[in-house]
Structure 1
């Protein structure tokens, strides 16, 4: 397999310090709270990289292990989403279209129906339903030919599959990008025990997904943690899900799985909704490009990029981030680019160069951080955040990140602390990585760019260590955080 990475080696960009600055003007030690948390968790200080830069005050920067090449996990999404904001624009949209290659007479399309994907990261079931409603409103009721999927928008790289823990490859966060990504390829299984039996429903109701229900019903009472297990058995024409376990009367449980490939999921979802709308497709499902001369029947647009990056950063959506990364490549691809990942790497490299940003440690594979190959240094990430603070789209970028103790992946962290509601922080988690990056305030209202990345074989308790970085930043000594007046 091939994986195309890039390393950007440019002239060094100084941090926001005077060229005459000495080591005394930079704090090169960790806050005492952080040192204590590291010691309590038996993790050496060399495992942690920290950079804290004042953005609108004259506080003293903290720079510790800042130039070490580290795996940033999902904080890499900040590089991808910031680049997309400036390169594609905050109102960028993706489109998905239906075409026909035959005449439409009295509600009957005598030919094939083509569904052309444009790389939309947020083509959910509601949007697909509305698109099919538009198709129906344009007079189509029956299709005599095939349902043809055009998945040619992206030129996909040949990347290794990610397997962080050797676990279930059907987990939705592992779904790979696609030109025709429908509903993040997720199947929702809902089990409910009523009237002495367990009913199991699947959304969307794709015909090739079959249920073998073996769940036992327990007598009613309080609903304990559900014990319902889904064991998919893939077959030639679909998948059978053997459902086992026990469920208490009057209780319910649900889970999400990604069991089908992109083509089967997209076709199955279209057929399920089209059938509910009273339509029919007589032919088969297949993949091919829309032919020249085909007639456009209906088109749907995605939400603006600003809304998409909010989903990516607030909830750390890997699939949408990878979709966005490839969209950058597809937008700026040239003849020298082998695939859209290579094109995205090239255009981000050029974008960084125009900003004068050094990123010699930066390695991007898929732009989501769901990778063992991706690398950056804490200084490079902090420099990027500093540049974003000055961007015309700073407000859109910052608001896309989780708000401490309020929402997204930070909603349960830093509650009952002074930092609650005062920090927009992107988190990152892999088996050997814990990371935070974003913007936080100190107790005088000054804003800082903050990056803390911990790489360790056993990062147990590391989230609490990173939280102490933010608490310590908030409680900066006043002599170090007095705002400029």
Structure 2
């Protein structure tokens, strides 16, 4: 090759390199032009809250109308708090179906005769998430309607439908308030959320307090006083209810002040599951005029025991409304465990939680999804360990939107400025009534996810999660700005 030919080859090579670099720069500039940054209002809210943008994970996906998706830190495994309920509830609708109901049964080996039921009576639970005191009363009324007035045998609580680990770890909420109903652990025979209603009212210059239901194992010592220094409108409920173990039960000690004419109600969860459930059943039976001669124990109903009365829960979608609209942790955990109890396999693990985990993961895989970051502990989000990405949350929302039970699922979510945990947010704003949003709250976590109606007929799935120590202070403001910005998005024409 001549010197002149070599020079031409070098020139062609350099020219090719420059063309390649130029093409790369054009491509990069095009990508940057199309890439979105956080809306200025969201950036401002983050600065004011002293939360770095890196602590905010967002995914926004168009569902109706053409539009461009927006993702920021969308693949990071984040603690979603109660947004994990979206996974549990959508999986439950898909796997159990909208007609699914829970049952609770009263069984016995002998049929009643002459108003007397001889032998043990079994209460068998199948994980009903909302077996309220009223429904237990109706169940006992059905037994009374069969002519039973006296039972001569033990009350046997059959809680075997859920196989729970012996060392069932309870959630530490850092608040030293173990009597809060949202901390109630699951049980196959969960009754009335294991809770009592503490009512206090000012009457004739005194603070009158009562507990409902009135159980013999729970005492009440009232030291609350009436004060005339404030009005009800300016009175935050400052009454303090301490719980003391008495050896054979507990005592609630009420203290504090309340203005004249005021009233306060709170719910407290006391006693262990077996003690509470047995006491409530026997108390309601006694109040109905029945007699029960026998003790209390735990056991499994024998196969030959006949069903004397049955209580059926509302259908699954109605139960899921309480789970998502009011972020009911106890109900979410019951639903999650029901998946394992009803659909789990022996090979999935020795207990119901491990089987529930396996059932949900099989369901995720059956949709063609790969969620390597997913960590499930109890399916409610009441966990320091659960993880998911916002990208996968919007994948789930999009799947639910296009699925056969879309209406049932969407109706379980809080409506902005109207009900549930979104009732007091964005009131009087354009987004009021235009979005269904699930919220999440934990120490260091604030989150939202759901469906937002945007401009010119568009609908968007959104998931936004803040994991940061300052989330409690300014997280809600940041997330409200995120929702406002999604409401302003337009579909491409």
Same fold (TM > 0.5): yes
CA distance in 2, matches of 1:392, 1:445: 22
Distance apart, 1:297 and its partner CA? 0.8
Among candidates 413, 423, 433, match of residue 421 of structure 1: 433
CA distance in 2, matches of 1:363, 1:225: 39
Does residue 62 in structure 1 map to residue 70 in structure 2?
yes
Distance apart, 1:221 and its partner CA? 7.9
For residues 89-126 of structure 1, give each alpha carbon's deviation from its aligned partner in whole angstroms, at most 9, with x where no partner exists.
01100100001233422111121221111100011111
CA distance in 2, matches of 1:213, 1:204: 17
Aligned pairs (5 A) from 1:76-155: 76-155=84-163
CA contact (8 A) 1:417 1:471 kept: no
Does residue 304 in structure 1 map to residue 312 in structure 2?
no
Does residue 285 in structure 1 map to residue 290 in structure 2?
no
Among candidates 179, 190, 212, match of residue 181 of structure 1: 190
Does residue 360 in structure 1 map to residue 372 in structure 2?
yes
* Unaligned stretches of 5+ residues in structure 2: 1-29
CA distance in 1, matches of 2:60, 2:424: 23
Q: Aligned pair in 2 of structure 1 residues 197, 36: CA closer, same or farther (>3 Å)? A: closer
Distance apart, 1:219 and its partner CA? 5.4
Q: Aligned pair in 2 of structure 1 residues 221, 428: CA closer, same or farther (>3 Å)? A: closer
Distance apart, 1:25 and its partner CA? 8.8
| TM-score, structure 2 normalization | 0.90
Aligned pairs (5 A) from 1:31-430: 31-157=39-165, 158-218=167-227, 222-223=231-232, 224-336=235-347, 337-430=349-442
Distance apart, 1:132 and its partner CA? 0.8
CA contact (8 A) 2:344 2:358 kept: no
Q: Secondary structure at the match of 2:239?
A: strand
CA contact (8 A) 2:119 2:152 kept: yes
Distance apart, 1:145 and its partner CA? 1.4
Aligned to 1:463: 476
RMSD between superposed Cα atoms in Å: 1.7
CA contact (8 A) 1:226 1:253 kept: yes
CA contact (8 A) 2:65 2:457 kept: no
| TM-score, structure 1 normalization | 0.91
For residues 10-45 of structure 1, give each alpha carbon's deviation from its aligned partner in whole angstroms, at most 9, with x where no partner exists.
xxxxxxxxxxxx846964421111111111111110
CA contact (8 A) 1:103 1:111 kept: no
Which moves more between the two structures, 121-130 or 44-53?
Answer: 121-130
Q: Secondary structure at the match of 1:180?
A: coil
Aligned to 2:9: none
Q: Aligned pair in 2 of structure 1 residues 355, 144: CA closer, same or farther (>3 Å)? A: same
Aligned to 2:486: 473
Aligned to 1:5: none
CA distance in 1, matches of 2:229, 2:55: 50
Distance apart, 1:271 and its partner CA? 1.5
CA distance in 1, matches of 2:150, 2:327: 40
Which moves more between the two structures, 360-369 or 229-238?
Answer: 229-238
How many residues matched? Answer: 459
* Unaligned stretches of 5+ residues in structure 1: 1-21
CA distance in 2, matches of 1:468, 1:250: 39
CA contact (8 A) 1:27 1:61 kept: no
CA distance in 1, matches of 2:190, 2:327: 17
Q: Aligned pair in 2 of structure 1 residues 219, 61: CA closer, same or farther (>3 Å)? A: closer
CA distance in 2, matches of 1:405, 1:461: 19
CA contact (8 A) 1:226 1:252 kept: no
Q: Secondary structure at the match of 1:177?
A: coil
* Runs of 4+, deviation exceeding 6 Å: none
